[in-house]
């Protein structure tokens, strides 16, 4: 058994129909729906000025790494942490996604 902690961060996950696509904050923001809930009637949908999905994905990855380190301390086993920009973007869309 390995004791390594491995973290990967992709645009759309390792597998699936978009699995091989490049990592891009702008594309993940658009496809997760953030552009559709920002802007005004005059401007139309608009991109957020801060790369919030990139930043939050890094934060989610660091939280996952800390959780993996705690589990390794408890059980002696390594863990794999997998984050994606699209998953983070969709998670940050609360409460708009439910609406």
Instruction: Out of 25, 54, 82, 87, pick the active-site residue.
Output: 54
- Partners of 9 in the β-ladder: 83
Query: Around 14, how many Cα atoms within 13 Å sit in the side-chain half-sphere?
Result: 7
- 39: its two tokens: 């802007």
87 is catalytic: no
Whether the CB-CB separation of 81 and 64 falls below 8 Å is answered with: yes
- Catalytic residue numbers? 54
């Amino acid at each position: 058994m390995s004791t390594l902690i491995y973290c990967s961060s992709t645009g759309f996950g390792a597998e699936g129909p978009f699995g091989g696509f490049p990592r891009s904050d702008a594309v993940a923001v658009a496809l997760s729906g953030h552009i559709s809930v920002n802007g005004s009637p005059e401007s139309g949908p608009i991109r957020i000025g801060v790369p919030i999905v990139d930043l939050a994905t890094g934060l989610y990855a660091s939280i996952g790494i800390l959780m993996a380190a705690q589990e390794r301390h408890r059980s002696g086993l390594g863990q794999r942490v997998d984050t994606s920009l699209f998953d983070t973007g969709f998670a940050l869309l609360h409460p708009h996604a439910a609406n």
